[in-house]
Amino acid sequence: MSTLTALATSSLDVIVGHQQPSGAYPASPTFSAYRGFCWFRDGSFIADGASAAGAVGSADSFFDWCAGTLAQQAGTVAAVVAGARDGHPVPDDQMLPARFRFDGAIADDDWWDFQLDGYGTWLWAVVEHARRHGRDLGRWAGAIELSVDYLVASWRRPCFDWWEEHSEQVHVSTLGCIGAGLEAVLTAGVLDGDRARRAQQAAAQIRALVAERGTIDGHLTKWFGRTDPDASLCALVGPMRWLDPADPVAVGTVRAVRTSLAVDGGVHRFGDDVFYGGGQWPLLSCLLGQGLLATGDAPGARAALDWAASTATADGLLPEQVADHLLAPAHRAEWVERWGEVATPLLWSHGQYLRLWHDLGQP
């Protein structure tokens, strides 16, 4: 067994072994700030990696958790839709949160919670899983409809990004995740006539807006009005295929991330990152790898997988980030003092590793 395959095996063991009876994936089972919580975004990418690696039941269970959690929030979704329709949108703190407890309950602590990307990401991931394994999407139909209604009513709103920062901005990766989710369920044919019409309209408007305001110099940008990229944008090219890999903007986005955010194989989140000193993230190297693979650079994708594998501990655990190349080293100590050492394992790192490992043909 190759070293890469051994890490894939242990990655699947980490994911399945830590999955909760409810189906939720803990973001990190030991990290102080993440312990006890599951994010729709992280969990959807984790489930996608597990599904690609053949853990069908694990992914099913996660999507069941998503459906059950959303069912508990049907009243909130109705209020959000009504507020948007009547021209009185609900405040940010009354929107759906990004993370939930394992039983689907909402935490009462203070967090950067209003994020829309996860609800689009789970739609994309559940459709991808159903297509891959011949699952009937009717099992999750009610939750899919709730998510579509919520996103159609809310997609224009500024919110926190993937990294729980800058709630005042409109983030291109967030819009792409929403668009990918809406287009996935439309392609799957699981929406009724009026809901499908509204979803199609929103998806088309998102594409037009990103082309107009979120693209500069041939690549996607971090947010409207900013010119540099964010590494999360690679997800829109690689696994999610929201951008056709043959599109010059897709090629340009992958190139921009590689040129400005990748150093010796490791990928930073964005240029002015200070979280834990602004280190390099294995999951982002894997997302860049998927973007490279999609746009025709298989050797580059393999190098990204190799680098991600090199960050594993002796026990086969992948961290959230490593400190080999810090953008803001003076800021690392403040985060260690606040929350302890970097999250290890981060299940999202293992899920993203599995997906790239699978896409490269299990090298």
> Hey, what amino acid is at 197?
R
Coil/strand/helix, residue 141: helix
Phi, psi at 263, each rounded to 5°: -135, 115
Q: CA Rg, the chain, in Å?
A: 19
Work out the number of other CB atoms within 10 angstroms of the CB of residue 17. Answer: 9
E-strand stretches of the chain: 37-39, 99-101, 215-216, 219-220, 262-263, 266-267
User: Residue 34, exposed/middle/buried by CB under 10 A (0-12, 13-18, 19+)?
Assistant: buried
Q: Which residues contact 238 (CB under 8 A, 6 or more apart)?
A: 287, 288, 289, 290, 291, 292, 293, 294
Coil/strand/helix, residue 88: coil
For 207-271, give the DSSP string: HHHHHHHSEETTEE-SBTT--S--GGGGGGTTTS-SS-TTSHHHHHHHHHHHHHHEETTEE-S-T
Nearest CA among 347, 304, 341 for reference residue 322:
341
Q: What is the pLDDT of residue 100?
A: 98
Q: Distance (Å, rounded) from C-alpha 350 to C-alpha 8? A: 8
What's the first-to-final CA gap in the chain, in angstroms?
10
Q: Which residues contact 345 (CB under 8 A, 6 or more apart)?
A: 14, 18, 28, 29, 30, 317, 318, 319
Q: Distance (Å, rounded) from C-alpha 348 to C-alpha 25? A: 9
Q: What is the pLDDT of residue 109?
A: 87
Taking phi over 0 as left and psi of -120 to 50 as alpha, with beta for the rest, 350 belongs to alpha
User: What's the average pLDDT block by block, 10 residues per block, for the chain (363 residues)?
Assistant: 94 98 98 97 98 98 98 98 97 97 93 97 98 98 98 98 97 98 97 97 98 98 98 98 98 98 98 98 98 98 98 98 98 98 98 98 94
CATH topology for 3-359 is Glycosyltransferase (1.50.10)
State the pTM of this model. Answer: 0.98
Q: What is the pLDDT of residue 255?
A: 98
Q: Are 129 and 135 in contact (CB under 8 A)?
A: yes
Handedness of CA 116, 120, 123, 129 (dihedral sign): negative
Nearest CA among 347, 311, 33 for reference residue 164:
33
Active-site residues, by number, are 161, 164, 320
Nearest CA among 291, 363, 280 for reference residue 318:
280
DSSP-assigned beta bridge partners for residue 280: 322
User: Residue 85, exposed/middle/buried by CB under 10 A (0-12, 13-18, 19+)?
Assistant: exposed
Q: Distance (Å, rounded) from C-alpha 319 to C-alpha 308? A: 10
CA angle 170/277/99 to nearest 5° reads: 50
Q: What is the pLDDT of residue 108?
A: 86
* Buried b / exposed e along 248-286 (16+ C-beta atoms within 10 A): ebbbbbbbbbbeebbeebbbbbbeebbbbbbbbbbbbbb
